[in-house]
Structures are given as C-alpha cells and as structure tokens.
C-alpha cells in the first residue's frame, strides 16, 4: 500500500527545497503520493492534487499579514480539512514558521497526522527561543540545515537531525565556468513583492550614485519570477529619481545564480540569496527595509546581532549590513565601492565565505532528509 505525505511550503525557497526533497523521496519509494501546497516546482512533481499558492502565500511584514488575514484564515481551515480527509502518513512542514508552527499545534491537538516532521527549522533561536519546548510537544522530528541548531533543539527534548544544507547540492549543479565582469554589479531585491517594492527603489538610487562615480559600471537585476519581473519593470519606468535608459542598464535575469557568478559585486536583500552569494563567493553588501511597524515589532523580539545568515554563522559582521534607517543609497553605494576598489576587503570576505560554506557540510541534504522521513514514517 502506497504512503501519502502532505507538504506545506509558503515561499520560493521552500518550493526549491521541497521539490528536491520530493525527488529524493521518490527515489527511495517510487509509489509515494504527495499532496498539499507549495510552489510550481513541487506541483510539477506532485501532480494535480497539489496546490501552487506561492504568489499569495509569500508575504513579508506585519502589515501585509494583517491585510491578508482573511485569506490566511481560510487557507488554514482548508489545510486542516484536507489533512483530515487525506489522513496522510506524515505531514512535512517546510520553513514558513508563521503559518506552519500554528498548523503543527492545531494538528497535534486534533491528532490527525501520524507523524509531524519539520524541515528547514524555523529560526526561533533568533526571535523566540522559548517556543522550542512548545515545538517539542507538537513535532515528532526536526530536520535542521545548520549544524548548531541540532544541539539546541535536542536539549529541549525534540528529536533533531542535522541533514546538511540543501542549497549546496542545488548550487553545485549550477556552477559555471566563467569569469566575473569587473564592471557588472548584480542587484538582488528579494523574492517577495512587498520587499521588492520597499528595497528596489533604494537599490536603484544606490545604482544611480555608483554610475555617477563609475560611468563604466553596468547593472543587472535578478527577478525571482515573471510576476516580479513585471513589477520591477514598472517600478523602473515610474521611479523619477533615476533614468534607467541613461544611467542604469536594468536588465532582468531570472536566474540569480548565473548573475552571482558573472557580477564582480552585489547588492543583496536579506534572505536565502545571501547564502547563495556566499556560496558563489560574490562580494556583496546586504540591504533590508520593511514598514516601520514591522521593524519595531521585529526588533522587540529578535535577539541576534546580525540579520544576514553569513554574519550569523560567522558570529561577526563579514558582510556590511544596511538595515532600515541605515539603508540609505549614499551609504550603500559607498560600501559597494569599497568592495569594488579594495582587493584586500574582497579577498577577506571571500575567504570568510569559504569557511561558512564548509561548515554546512557537503551535498546530499535532500537525500539525508528523505531517508530520515522514510525512517520516521516506518517507526
């Protein structure tokens, strides 16, 4: 009798990781059935029973969550009803803690799923470590992608396994045998519409100032999807502070990893792209800005010194961070110019990147996670 696994992923990175995990699971057990919701890559593997909801689910900021409260409330009920009807052998929750941690608690109370497994552990150690004990009551297994997390979760009584970072295997397959263009700067404004709308104008102004200082510089923008590509193009036309026809070649690249290997330097929004940039050893500065209510609420609970994951893993600021009020075009341009001109600073950052990536283990995270899930279902 075939087994069924229900997945929930709510962001582009979760869709990437979920699709790789599905392929590894099918390699171990070809008759596994996948249902749930995630993105287009997961749906392509799972089939018609799978719901692609990424464009609506991937939100950033307190206000956007409040604004779409009715939508998320309905989705939450729909997921509970679907899991009750399907009665899967396991529910695999991929990152997306705002939705998935509440779902884990609700499912635990209902006793619907036989196994509750969390993949890409939520970074509660950064903003609410007190929730770890609560998670231990709701989950059967936590699969971690950072080595320090396993010890932290195991201390709480939550069975945890470090499987390695799935980014490694995905990015290794995308390595190109090319040289960097010394005059190309990559702009990576994020994978969610709200953050792109906040961050891209700042990046554009910074690019304008960089071009004024270095007329030979060129710029390309990474768009995570066709929808975001359309959004960026419209913003480029309507942004009065910059004439893209004259100052910035705002060419859109759909594959961020290609742009990271061609660019000499980058300006990157906080998120999974920062670790990707570190993997490809592209020197960059980090930029992030959200609405002020979201920022104030976040600062009240976050207890780590740095926002960018390369800095968190290094335990120090190896990548300059320009967050919220510090995200000024002049400062960002100055920080980028330093990386363009200062070879010592570039080499030091690239050396630190190498150490960070080695700490994440080799390839095989998806295979390790799939084997752990199959073992857990069989317990």
Taking only the tens place, the pLDDT of each residue in 186-196 is 999 988 888 88
The tokens of 234 are what?
């419209």
From 18, 45, 15, 50, select the one nearest 30 (Cα to Cα): 45
Contacts of 85 (CB under 8 A, 6+ apart): none
**Using CA atoms, how far apart are residues 255 and 299, in angstroms rounded to an integer?**
32
The tokens of 304 are what?
């780590």
Vertex 16: Cα angle to 27 and 14 (nearest 5): 115
Strands of 90-94's sheet in order across = 50-52, 33-38, 4-9, 90-94, 116-119, 141-144, 160-162
From 98, 93, 95, 91, select the one nearest 59 (Cα to Cα): 98
From 101, 126, 79, select the one nearest 303 (Cα to Cα): 126
Domains, the chain, ordered by start = 4-164+364-378 (3.40.50.2000), 181-359 (3.40.50.2000)
How many other C-beta atoms can be found within 10 angstroms of the C-beta atom of residue 171? Answer: 19
Res 152: pLDDT: 80
Res 78: pLDDT: 95
**Using CA atoms, how far apart are residues 291 and 106, in angstroms rounded to an integer?**
30
First-last CA distance in the chain: 16
The tokens of 266 are what?
């980058």
Helix (H) or strand (E) holding 93: strand 90-94
- Which DSSP category does 271 fall into? S
> pTM for this structure?
0.73
- Residue matched to tokens 């359309």: 230
Res 246: pLDDT: 44
Determine the distance from the C-alpha atom of residue 289 to the mean position of all C-alpha atoms in its chain, rounded to a whole number: 16
| List of the chain residues with pLDDT < 50 | 240-248, 300-301
CB contact at 8 A, 236 and 204:
yes
The tokens of 293 are what?
């209510």
Q: What is the pLDDT of residues 255-298, one digit of tens each?
A: 889 999 999 999 999 888 999 999 999 999 999 987 655 655 55
Res 229: pLDDT: 82
β-bridge pairing 160-162 and 251-253: unpaired
Res 242: pLDDT: 45
**Using CA atoms, how far apart are residues 289 and 12, in angstroms rounded to an integer?**
19
Vertex 263: Cα angle to 257 and 267 (nearest 5): 85
Res 248: pLDDT: 46
């Amino acid at each position: 009798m075939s087994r069924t696994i229900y997945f929930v992923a709510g962001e582009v990175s979760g869709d990437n990781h979920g699709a790789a995990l599905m392929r590894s699971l099918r390699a171990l057990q070809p008759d596994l059935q996948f249902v749930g919701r995630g993105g287009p890559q997961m749906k392509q593997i799972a089939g018609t029973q799978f719901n692609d909801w990424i464009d609506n689910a991937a939100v950033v900021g307190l206000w956007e969550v409040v604004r779409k409260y009715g939508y998320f409330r309905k989705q939450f009920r729909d997921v509970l009803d679907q899991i009750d009807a399907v009665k899967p052998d396991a529910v695999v929750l991929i990152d997306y803690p705002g939705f998935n941690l509440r779902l884990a608690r609700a499912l635990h109370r209902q006793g619907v799923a036989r196994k509750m497994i969390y993949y890409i552990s939520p970074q509660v150690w950064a903003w609410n470590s007190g929730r770890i004990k609560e998670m231990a009551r709701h989950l059967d297994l936590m699969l971690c992608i950072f080595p320090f997390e396993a010890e932290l979760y195991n201390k709480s009584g939550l069975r945890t396994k470090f499987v390695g970072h799935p980014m490694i295997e995905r990015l290794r397959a995308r390595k190109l045998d090319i040289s960097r263009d010394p005059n190309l700067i990559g702009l990576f404004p994020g994978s969610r519409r709200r953050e792109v709308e906040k961050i891209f104008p700042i990046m554009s102004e910074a690019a304008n100032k960089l071009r004024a200082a270095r007329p030979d510089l060129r710029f390309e923008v990474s768009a995570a999807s066709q929808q975001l590509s359309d959004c960026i193009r419209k913003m480029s036309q309507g942004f009065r502070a910059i004439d893209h026809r004259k100052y910035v070649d705002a060419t859109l690249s759909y594959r961020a990893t290609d742009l990271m290997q061609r660019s000499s330097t980058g300006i990157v929004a906080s998120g999974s792209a920062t670790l990707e940039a570190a993997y490809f050893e592209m020197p960059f500065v980090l930029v992030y800005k959200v609405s002020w209510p979201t920022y104030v609420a976040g600062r009240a609970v976050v207890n780590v010194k740095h926002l960018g994951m390369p800095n968190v893993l290094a335990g120090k600021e190896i990548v300059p961070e320009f967050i919220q009020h510090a995200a000024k075009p002049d400062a960002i341009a100055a920080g980028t110019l330093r990386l363009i001109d200062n070879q010592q600073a570039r080499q030091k950052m690239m050396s630190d990147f190498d150490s960070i990536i080695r700490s994440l283990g080799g390839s095989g995270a998806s295979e390790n996670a799939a084997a752990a899930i199959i073992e857990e279902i069989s317990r």
